[in-house]
Amino acid sequence: MNATARIVANPEVMMGKPVVAGTRITVESILERLAAGETKEQLLAAHPRLTSEAIDAALAFAAQALRADVVYPSPIDAA
């Protein structure tokens, strides 16, 4: 299964958020946990149905989503 096929979205699962196929584990949850300092190994231990490849697919999905032509406003220093 390629990375793109590992991440799916279905309006009836987790309110349509992108999830790892066959699970209810959202890309958002994976990113939040990694950003909070958890390791891949800790994620895998906490979610036996999760694979290392699925974590990589979630990261690739997030990177691809951020490549869209969207302008992200940054706060302007008022000083």
Whether the CA torsion 8, 16, 23, 50 is positive or negative: it is: positive
3-65 has CATH 3.40.50.1820 classification: no
Of residues 10 and 72, which shows the higher confidence score? Answer: 10
Going by the DSSP 8-state scheme, the letter that residue 1 receives in this structure is -
CA distance linking residue 74 with residue 79, whole number of Å: 15
Q: Indicate the domain borders of the chain.
A: 3-65
Q: What is the pLDDT of residues 12-67, one digit of tens each?
A: 999 999 999 999 999 999 999 999 999 999 999 999 999 999 999 999 999 988 88
